[in-house]
Amino acid sequence: MTGGGHDPKGSDCPKSPITFSFEVFPPRSLYAALALGHTIQELAAAEPEFISVTYGASGSTRDSSLDLLRYIREHTSARPLGHLTCVDVTREELAAQIGSFFDTGISDFLAIRGDTPKNPRPLAPDAVTVDSTVDIISLINEVHRERRGVPAGLRIAVGAFPGGHPASDSRRFSVDSLLEKQQAGAEFAITQLFFEADEYLSFVDDARAAGVHIPIIPGIMPVISAQQLSRVAQLVGRRPPAHLAHDMEYGDRDPRRIGIDAAVELSRAVLVGGAPSLHLYTFNKSRSVLAVLAELGLLYTPASAGRLASGLSTSPSPSVKETT
């Protein structure tokens, strides 16, 4: 299934069909779970290529991640993609988790090493661990072979870091790491958030020159407040554009509208530059990401277009306004 299939608005935009996908994270309360169910239905109605579900450090959200993947698979037409991390877990535990994903019918994965938790749990001295994304890819394939290729259609994605790899600020290191993941069997990559189109486009150029041929999908997030912008900047280790930070903090326009406009501008620039798709970080909210897609001309189903038009015709009420 592809998302949209229309060309983004603007005379300078590419003419080939554009796909998109979304990321959500497991809810932390019953109320959040109920709200997220509605959000996922809205996202799925836009017909994304997939919806990915994050996975907490040390497997902390293992059960809730799996439950959310199962919900997407059983209650929407979207393709679920499960994140897998290897920090602070044993090889045996990770293999069991991969098996649980397969048992649920999940065959799409995003393999990422993950962040080291503040308080790592003690592992047995003789515990066998998985230490890299390449090792995760190898283990996924091993478990899949043991199950005789069931479920079918295995796809493995990996992370890419235009602004510098977590282990190094070197662009060369980031490119070499992505090349190694490709050689291990990765089929596409999704980037960490970035603020400037050239950061993504120059990274893709460097990766192609080094021999990376898999699709590199830009990760985009429409921020909705100055506080959220600051948090995202800390996450990616980059200062946001000065004008964006100023407008969010002191501008006379709605910060949510500012964030949507910035995401549209960034998305359009990377698409014009050749990006094969867009991966939108939703923060478990649908309105802003759908607004970005609508302004790019990528929402085309009557149901999703109609809901979005009615939802954006007035300002959001306090009960449904997005928060960080």
Amino acid at the residue 197: A
Closest of 65, 104, 67, 79 to residue 22, by C-alpha: 79
Choice among 23, 93, 199, 322 that is catalytic: 23
For residues 172-207, one letter each, b for 16 or more C-beta atoms within 10 angstroms of the residue's C-beta and e for the rest, the string is eebbbbbbbbbebebebbbbbbbbbbebbbebbebb
- As a whole number of angstroms, the distance between CA 264 and CA 253 comes to 16
Q: How would you write 200-219 as a 3-class SS string?
A: HHHHHHHHHHHCCCCCEEEE
List, as one string, the DSSP characters of 155-196: EEEEEE-TT-BTTBS-HHHHHHHHHHHHHHT--EEEEEE-S-
Is position 23 annotated as part of the catalytic site?
yes
Q: Which two tokens stand for residue 22?
A: 């979304």
Q: Which positions are catalytic?
A: 23
